[in-house]
């Protein structure tokens, strides 16, 4: 297997690991940090970290950035401003398990979107792998019991998360479609998207601030913002964008099925939660599905 593919898939899994932690943070701090406050300060902090490293390269690539024009604004609106703000808003009114369940629509949305928008329908093996991974995810969500699955209750927050999934699928497809033509280094692209995305969040953050106020400056809240800024933003986005460029949007989207598995592992490591048989069975099925779906690319 080419080392380029290995690095790409490892990067995608690292991104999913970081976002699994992001889901835990979003739900754990939903009473302490309002959603748009978390989204705004997350990206503002990430921008402050990025700028010293990307300001000069961005100036050197200013002509390429100018040619990219409206496409950068679209990517920033989808991937920076909208998706995370919607996810944090959904976490205010729905359980973490529901966020995970709705997120299972991401690979399907990416498959269908790629086919309808660009005529890029995945091969049959990828569809089968998608089904196997989805079955493993159902085993995780249901905790191995049909009663748990049928007892799930959905609410308006789940609809917000569904909208977030559609937004992220479109971002993933457009990153794959546009970035080769843009010719921008990964850090320059991410820095530009964050620089454009933060002002888009600002009006909504100010409105939320006037309605519900901000958040207390405590070690826990600052730690949550720091995690989302460094791990869920800088590390995850660089890894995800690179992986999408190398393996394609559809196969990259399938790796999102590893997120609930990583969430369970993080719960075991950080919160001391017990790993049970359904965790192992579901995890094995998820990774079997990932291997089956990506097998043609690994030959």
For residue 297, the model assigns a pLDDT of 46
Closest C-alpha to 170, from 210, 111, 216: 111
Is the pLDDT at 239 greater than 50? The verdict is yes
Percent of the chain residues topping a pLDDT of 90: 28
| Across 204-227, average pLDDT | 91
For residue 287, the model assigns a pLDDT of 64
Q: What is the pLDDT of residues 135-177, one digit of tens each?
A: 766 665 666 666 665 665 556 766 787 788 889 889 988 988 8
Q: What DSSP letter does each residue of 204-237 carry, written as one string?
A: HHHHHHHHH------HHHHHHHHHHHIIIIIIHH
For residue 196, the model assigns a pLDDT of 95
Closest C-alpha to 4, from 280, 242, 253, 192: 242
Q: What is the pLDDT of residues 19-53, one digit of tens each?
A: 888 877 877 787 889 989 999 999 999 999 999 99
The answer to whether 38 and 229 have CB atoms below 8 angstroms apart is no
Please, which pLDDT band fits residue 61 given cuts at 50, 70 and 90? very high
Domain ranges of the chain: 1-120+150-246
Q: What is the pLDDT of residues 86-124, one digit of tens each?
A: 888 887 776 655 566 666 667 777 777 777 776 666 666
């Amino acid at each position: 297997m080419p080392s380029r593919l290995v690095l790409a898939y490892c990067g995608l899994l690292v991104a999913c690991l970081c976002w699994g932690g992001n889901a835990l943070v979003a739900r754990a701090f939903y009473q302490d940090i309002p959603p748009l406050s978390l989204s705004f300060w997350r990206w503002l902090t990430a921008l402050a970290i990025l700028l010293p490293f990307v300001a000069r390269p961005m100036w050197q690539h200013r002509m390429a950035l100018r040619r990219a024009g409206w496409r950068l604004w679209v990517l920033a609106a989808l991937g920076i401003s909208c998706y995370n703000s919607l996810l944090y808003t959904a976490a205010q009114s729905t359980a973490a398990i529901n966020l995970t369940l709705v997120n299972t629509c991401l690979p399907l949305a990416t498959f269908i979107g790629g086919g309808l928008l660009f005529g890029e329908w995945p091969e049959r093996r990828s569809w089968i792998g998608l089904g196997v991974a989805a079955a493993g995810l159902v085993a995780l969500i249901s905790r191995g019991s049909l009663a748990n699955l049928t007892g799930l209750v959905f609410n308006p927050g789940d609809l917000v998360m569904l909208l977030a999934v559609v937004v992220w699928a479109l971002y993933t497809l457009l990153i794959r479609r546009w970035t080769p033509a843009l010719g921008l280094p990964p850090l320059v692209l991410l820095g530009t998207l964050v620089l454009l995305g933060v002002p888009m969040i600002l009006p909504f953050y100010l409105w939320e601030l006037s309605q519900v106020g901000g958040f207390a400056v405590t070690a826990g809240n600052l730690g949550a913002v720091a995690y989302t800024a460094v791990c869920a933003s800088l590390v995850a986005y660089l890894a995800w964008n690179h992986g999408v460029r190398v393996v394609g949007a559809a196969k990259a989207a399938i790796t999102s099925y590893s997120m609930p598995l990583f969430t369970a592992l993080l719960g075991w490591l950080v919160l001391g939660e017990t790993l049970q048989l359904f965790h192992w069975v579901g995890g094995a099925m998820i990774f079997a599905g990932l291997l089956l779906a990506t097998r043609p690319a690994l030959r």
